[in-house]
Structure 1
Amino acid sequence: MVPPTPIPVGATALRPVWTDLPGQVRAEIETLAGGTVIEARSQGSGFTPGFASRLVLADGRRLFVKAAGSAYPWMIEAYQAEVAKLRLLPAAVPAPSVIFDRRFQVDGEDWLIAGFVDIDGRPPLRPWREDEAAAVLRCATELGRALTPPPTGADWLGLEVEFARNADDWAMIAEQDLLPADLIEPGAELARDFLARLPRTTLVHCDLRDDNVIIGSDGRVNVCDWNFPVLGPIWTDTVTLAISMHGDGLNAERLLAETGAIDDDALVDGFLAMLLGYFTIAGSRPEVDNSPYLRAHQRWYADATADWLRRRVLRTY
């Protein structure tokens, strides 16, 4: 059994608020938005330090804005890449549309601002509710179909390239005794097999968690934060989401079966093993000052993934 997540769901990020932004940055956002900001609500979910707020304009219009400056150059690149990738997604993908983006300098400092349609809604509740879990998994499954074949316009990397830097994770786990011994040999073998034969049929989100999902007031499920899309199996995002559902005590096997998305159980085991290696090593690294809950989040995901993989492969509980 997996203990409850130790992180404060919806309040994990340390982000600047509207008044923290330089005056010229705020002015540029208002110019591109075409109105004066009268309300700004910072979004506390996630694990990055960039500005991310829902803004209300004087005429009642709403938008969601991300911004990053030279203090975090990698955030500038991430936001710029997200905008470019969002514009390539087909209309069938339930993702927020880009309204504007601009990269410019303020007093010699580089800035990137991006405005998106604000989706009226909220993330799924945690612990997961059965009905919301089923709806979100249906969305992820439909997402896979909509992105098979992958959209054109970019030289998408494969999932194996994204995780190439983690090739030594299982060797490090064995050296440092970070997981029970009975998981190490099968886990390492499954991860190697997955990376050797994974299909690259589909553009997958590759970072799909509850805090990247918005359930709209109309009941429609929307997927946000498209920073890391890569090519992989059609069920990648469905399985990734199901990890936290298993960790929260739901029957992930039944929920997955209901989607009809899984066509190769051995590959799913390998994918879980690869993620387990990643989460275990990441969670063992030093804490991050500007993301105080990141390591706890990764350690919990490692626990949830290990428990699920153990049940699937070793048939132990």
Structure 2
Amino acid sequence: MTTTAPPASGVRHAWADLPAAVRRAVESVLGSPVVETRSQSGGFSPGVAARVRLANGGRAFVKAVSAEVNPGAPDLHRAEARHTAALPPHAPVPRLLGSYDDGTCVALVLEDIEGRQPAVPWDPAELDRVLAAVGALTRLLTPAPIDAPPVARREASMFRGWRTLHAAGGSPRLAPWAARHLGALAELESGWAEPATGDSLVHADLRADNILLAEDRVVFVDWPHAMRAAPWFDLLAMLPCVAAQGGPDPEAVFTAHPLGRGADPEGVTAVLAALTGYFVAHSLRPAPPGLPTLRAFQAAQGAAALDWLRGRLDHRLR
């Protein structure tokens, strides 16, 4: 297995880099001073992401971002705080212990999970474990137990990548097959919303760096993008990243999985087209502040998704 995606990483800052007022506020939530920190490299959040040990022996996970580094990051942390606090207590998700928000800097204090991210390239046994956990998570979160936006609204501005590229006359950086069929891809993408609609609460950003393998369970972290969608949405959305990180053929995995077996094939293809267009179109944009590897990561996901989509469409697009 080969890995084409670069590491999922943003610009990390140390605990000591946080303003003193933010550190004091976090320690107030924790109820004890921080005496040791270990910065975590996985994930795109452009700020602090650290496991902390406290003077009283306790542990926690702290993540913090500032609008001065990335203007959009604080709103994502606010959404994550809302969603995480509302999730059922038995969900395999870190508990939110508290938060801090001064309008510019937002910090979340979360339960520190004793676990590790899956190996990349993906190990087949670990992937099987995660795929089973994705199915269990979907069953637990159907019907959606919290108020979250529907996928048709949440992704309306994102899932129009092919249409945006088509209206702009294409791009010389497009893969030849995509450039040749850009009009057909734009038309196919336009029908994504209805089949993607459903009443399952989905994570919508499952990747290896948002998953922790604990001894007795799989834990899903980072929930800012949670929304209501079809029960197979998370499975479909994660598989291009799995493929780009050394995993197996996404078509084989999706159609063999209980969530994928019952999905309407035409609807799946339309949603996959929209997801692919999102990755491809966004990979062509300049890098956002504090996220220097994001576009290359999206390009790798887009290439894997495009291969999957082309396989589903080769009978009708030559």
Q: What's the TM-score, normalizing by structure 1?
A: 0.89
Aligned counterparts of 1:242 and 1:166: Cα–Cα separation in 2: 18
Deviation at 1:192, TM superposition (A): 1.8
Cα distance, 1:259 vs structure 2: 2.6
Deviations 1:9-50 (A, max 9, x none): 5xx221210110112221222222111212111121222313
Give the counterpart letter for 1:144 in structure 2: T
Find the counterpart in structure 1 of residue 272 from structure 2. 272
CA gap of 1:293–1:221, structure 2 versus 1, over 3 A, is same
**Distance in 1 separating the partners of 2:15 and 2:91:** 30
Aligned partner of 1:252 in structure 2 is 250
Q: Among residues 221, 231, 234, which one is paired with 2:231 in the alignment?
A: 234
Whether the aligned pair in 1 keeps the contact of 2:159 and 2:275 (CA below 8 Å) is no
Opposite residue 151 of structure 1, the aligned amino acid is: P
TM-score, length-normalised on structure 2? Answer: 0.88
Q: Is the 8 A contact 1:210 1:241 kept in 2?
A: no
The aligned residue for residue 136 of structure 1 is: 130
Q: Which segment drifts farther, 161-170 or 294-303?
A: 161-170
Alignment of 1:1-317 (within 5 A): 4-8=3-7, 12-71=9-68, 72-104=70-102, 110-152=104-146, 154=147, 156-166=148-158, 168-174=160-166, 175-177=169-171, 178-179=174-175, 180=177, 181-216=179-214, 218-247=215-244, 248-262=246-260, 263=262, 264-314=264-314
Opposite residue 33 of structure 1, the aligned amino acid is L
Give a deviation string over 1:124-156, Cα, whole Å, max 9, x none: 11111111111111111111111111114x3x2
Partners of 2:61 and 2:132 lie apart in 1 by 25
Residues of 1 paired with 2:76 and 2:265: CA distance? Answer: 33
Distance 2:62 2:186 in 1: 41
Q: Describe the superposition over 1:175-229 as per-residue Cα deviations: whole angstroms up to 9, x where unpaired.
A: 224242454344333322222443322111111111111111x141110100011
Structure 2 CA distance, aligned partners of 1:166 and 1:121? 32
Runs of at least 4 residues off by over 6 Å: none
> How far apart, CA to CA, are the structure 1 residues paired with 2:181 and 2:258?
28
Aligned with 1:298: secondary structure? helix
Structure 1 Cα separation of the partners of residues 79 and 7 of structure 2: 28
* Conservation of the 8 A alpha-carbon contact between 2:163 and 2:187: no
Q: Alignment partner of 1:193: what SS?
A: coil
Greater Cα shift, 19-28 or 72-81? 72-81
Q: Is the Cα–Cα contact under 8 Å of residues 2 and 121 in structure 2 kept in the other structure? A: no
Aligned partner letter, 1:232: A
State the percentage of identical aligned residues: 32
RMSD: 2.3
Q: Point out where structure 1 has 5 or more consecutive residues left out of the alignment.
A: none
Is the 1:78–1:227 Cα contact (8 Å) retained in structure 2? yes
Question: Structure 2 regions of 5+ residues with no counterpart?
Answer: none
Are the structure 2 counterparts of residues 147 and 6 from structure 1 closer, same or farther at C-alpha, using a change threshold of 3 Å?
Answer: closer
Please state whether the residue corresponding to 1:222 is helix, strand or coil: strand
| C-alpha separation in 1, matches of 2:78 and 2:275 | 26
Aligned-partner Cα distance in 1 for 2:207–2:157:
22
What amino acid does structure 2 have at the position aligned with 1:131?
A
> Number of residue pairs matched?
307
Give the Cα separation in 1 of the matches to 2:57 and 2:256.
41
